[in-house]
């Protein structure tokens, strides 16, 4: 028994020694640096730094060169030798209109010009009893919505940019209505318009949608609205004006305007005259076929008739010409381009065909005068170059510039009721 007890005691003692000294325990110690791996990393870093230095020098060189090129950049311009133009706004017979408004960093001349035109129309229709400053950006906001909607429906095969056409305004108003500027100006944190970051973010999102095949219209438009609200603020669905509450559609009725009373015209040999057709430019992104196509002599006749009858119109076309001189507030066709007597349907068409006449800009025609053997038209312009001269926000367009370079216009039906009878 003593022997057994001794054996058990030895086993218990060995068990205790094993349990206390033979089991692994966790501990922290400083991490050891592998010298070879460290050497490789340092070499990699040194190589990258050398590459970055070379890249930085190249980038700085090109940035400097590009800045120099921008400073030295030249535009072909005409002198004004032999050009006799009106010197004062008072020389024009004008229709009522608000003073010019600048569009700044936006491509939304179509809205500024058409909105200005319809402000004048409210005054005309009401016989001077209503003067309402309308919101340009309310229309722009919903035009972006409709562009995004079509982009989604067409699976990315639709144009999304800032530009559009004057008849987009009537199309948007019929669907969404309109509001006065006083309740929605589309400005969030700055007093000047800048849609550069807006359109960049909008296109980035829509390209993501296209790349990932995410075509849920309802969900996508929710995100589009978030982007627009970020940069433009959210338009009101209801508001007060002169102590009365309106929805945008109710306010459109209050203005007295009927969007269906306005017609768009163009003049191009690419379509049969006296027929309706599409104005084939990117800014007509919804491919409207509602343009009435007429010969140039009729095109110009309507323009002149409208302004002399004190109707006015919104007009659009090419403004990148050497005879458009902001510092003098004038636009004309220089002799070195084409002599006045040679401006006709074919010379006009040739420039449309080869792209030297493009759909650049929308403007509001607000006045007319006959001066030194030419028709001159007073143009209210939201573009920057109209601020370079004496008459801030205005241009004087000569008849040759209108005939050769203007592509479309929108006018009230009463001006063209006899001409519309020529259409099928």
Which residues are CB-neighbours of 149 under 8 A, at least 6 positions away? 217, 221
- Lookup: tokens for 112: 């500024």
Distance, in Å, from the CA atom of 293 to the CA atom of 279, rounded to the nearest integer, reads: 9
Question: What does the alpha-carbon distance between residue 311 and residue 303 come to, in Å, rounded to a whole number?
Answer: 10
| Residue 387 · residue 74 · CB < 8 Å | no
Say if CB 232 and CB 111 are below 8 A apart: no
Buried b (16+ CB within 10 A) or exposed e, 6-25: eeeeeeeeeeeeeeeeeeee
**How far apart are the C-alpha atoms of 87 and 79, rounded to whole Å?**
17
Neighbours of 163 (CB within 10 A): 21
Instruction: Count Cβ atoms within 10 A of the Cβ of residue 56 and give its class: 0-12 exposed, 13-18 middle, 19 or more buried.
Output: exposed
Where do the DSSP E strands lie in 194-238?
A: none
Radius of gyration of the chain (CA): 34
User: For the chain, what are the domain ranges?
Assistant: 89-420
Query: In the structure encoding, which two tokens stand for residue 234, read together?
Result: 């959210």
For 405, the enclosing helix (H) or strand (E) is helix 399-405
* Pairing relationship of beta strands 275-277 and 239-241 according to DSSP bridges: unpaired
CATH number of the structural domain 89-420: 3.90.70.10
Query: pTM for the complete prediction?
Result: 0.87
Q: Tens digit of pLDDT per residue, the chain (424 long)?
A: 556 565 556 555 555 555 556 899 999 998 888 999 999 999 999 999 999 999 999 999 999 999 998 888 888 999 999 999 999 999 999 999 999 999 999 999 999 999 999 999 999 999 999 999 999 999 999 999 999 999 999 999 999 999 999 999 999 999 999 999 999 999 999 999 999 999 999 999 999 999 999 999 999 999 999 999 999 999 999 999 999 999 999 999 999 999 999 999 999 999 999 999 999 999 999 999 999 999 999 999 999 999 999 999 999 999 999 999 999 999 999 999 999 999 999 999 999 999 999 999 999 999 999 999 999 999 999 999 999 999 999 999 999 999 999 999 999 999 999 999 999 7
């Amino acid at each position: 028994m003593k022997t057994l007890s001794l054996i058990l005691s030895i086993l218990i003692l060995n068990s205790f020694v094993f349990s206390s000294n033979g089991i692994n325990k966790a501990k922290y110690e400083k991490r050891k640096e592998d010298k070879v791996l460290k050497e490789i990393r340092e070499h990699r870093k040194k190589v990258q730094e050398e590459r970055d230095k070379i890249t930085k020098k190249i980038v700085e060189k090109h940035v400097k060169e590009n800045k120099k090129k921008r400073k030295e950049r030249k535009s072909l311009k005409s002198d004004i030798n032999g050009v006799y133009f009106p010197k004062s706004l008072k020389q024009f017979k004008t229709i009522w209109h608000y003073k010019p408004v600048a569009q700044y960093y936006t491509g939304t001349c179509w809205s500024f010009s058409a909105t200005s035109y319809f402000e004048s129309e409210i005054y005309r229709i009401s016989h001077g009893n209503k003067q309402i400053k309308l919101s340009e950006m309310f229309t722009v906001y919903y035009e972006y919505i409709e562009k995004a909607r079509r982009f989604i429906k067409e699976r990315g095969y639709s144009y999304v940019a800032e530009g559009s056409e004057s008849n987009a305004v009537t199309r948007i108003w019929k669907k969404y209505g309109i509001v006065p500027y006083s309740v929605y100006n589309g400005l969030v944190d700055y007093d000047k318009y800048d849609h550069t970051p807006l359109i960049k973010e909008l296109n980035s999102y829509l390209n993501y949608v296209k790349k990932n095949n995410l075509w849920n219209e309802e969900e996508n438009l929710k995100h589009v609205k978030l982007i627009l609200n970020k940069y433009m603020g959210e338009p009101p669905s209801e508001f007060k004006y002169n102590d009365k509450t309106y929805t945008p559609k109710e306010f459109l009725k209050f203005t007295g305007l009927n969007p269906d009373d306005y017609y768009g015209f163009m003049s191009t040999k690419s379509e049969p005259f006296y027929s309706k057709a599409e104005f084939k430019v990117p800014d007509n992104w919804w491919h409207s076929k509602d343009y009435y196509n007429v010969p140039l002599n009729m095109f110009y006749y309507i323009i002149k008739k409208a302004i002399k009858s004190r109707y006015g119109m919104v007009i659009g076309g090419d403004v990148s010409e050497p005879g458009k001189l902001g510092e003098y507030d004038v636009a004309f066709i220089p002799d070195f381009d084409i002599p006045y007597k040679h401006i006709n349907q074919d010379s006009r068409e040739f420039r449309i065909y080869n792209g030297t006449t493009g759909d650049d800009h929308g403007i509001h025609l607000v006045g007319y005068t006959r001066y030194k053997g030419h028709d001159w038209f007073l143009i209210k312009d939201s573009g920057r170059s109209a601020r370079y001269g004496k008459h801030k926000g205005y241009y004087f367009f000569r008849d040759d510039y209108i005939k050769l370079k203007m592509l479309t216009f929108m006018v009230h039906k009463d001006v063209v009721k006899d001409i519309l009878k020529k259409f099928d």
